[in-house]
Amino acid sequence: MEAEVMKAELAPYYDPRTNLRYANADVFKLVRSLPNEYVQRYLALRKAQVVLK
């Protein structure tokens, strides 16, 4: 999740399913492997909650 915390210039891509930003394919795999509960908690901290399907 470190890449998600970075500024958009350093993490130019985002996962449309989770709205988390990532910098490369390795981080994308990590983002997709996170349990939905973790993603929702992180997005709540950012006040950017989404409903994952």
Distance between CA atoms of residues 51 and 12, nearest Å: 22
Percent of the chain that is helix, strand, coil (3-state, to 5): 45, 10, 50
Q: How far apart are CA 36 and CA 47, in angstroms?
A: 16
Q: How far apart are the first and last CA of the chain?
A: 20
- Give the pLDDT confidence of 3-53 residue by residue, as tens digits: 555 444 578 898 998 888 899 999 999 999 999 999 888 888 887 766 655
pTM of the model: 0.62
Q: Which two tokens stand for residue 38?
A: 């973790």
Q: Residue 38: how many CB atoms within 10 A of its CB?
A: 12
